[in-house]
Amino acid sequence: MIERQRARRNLPIEERLRLSFADTDLEVLQEEAKERKVCGQGGVLLSKPVYGAKAEKGRTLEKIAKKAGCSHVTAHQYKKVMDTGQLDRLKKGESIKKVAGDIQREELREEQIEHLESIESKEEYR
């Protein structure tokens, strides 16, 4: 049912991404990616991982974005919004890009504050 709902063109991108994330088992995709990474260490294929007949290569978020019919950047931004628990802002009508940008600016602001505090604490010891 989720697959049919995702195919509807009139669903907003937020809903398509929500359905794609709900339908995809992130842990399984990430585990498969780790196995592929280990098999190719040093340019030498150590062993071939065995997956189903339709094993897809690629980044986890790129696979989710493909299911949702959007770019991998939009999927990454949606994941950041989802991880910070600000999905309610999307429900209020704000765009994924705006909410993700606000989150990124807030993270940068916090990093700058921490950096300034560390500089101030070093100056106190002088």
Task: Please say if the pLDDT value at position 71 is more than 60.
Answer: yes
Query: Tens of pLDDT along 79-89?
Result: 999 999 999 99
Find the mean pLDDT for residues 38-61: 59
- For the chain, the structural domain boundaries read 2-124
Query: Tens of pLDDT along 32-45?
Result: 777 777 766 554 55
74 exposure class (CB count in 10 Å sphere: 0-12, 13-18, 19+):
buried
What does pTM read for this prediction? 0.67
For 114-124, letters b (16+ CB in 10 Å) and e give: eeeeeeeeeee
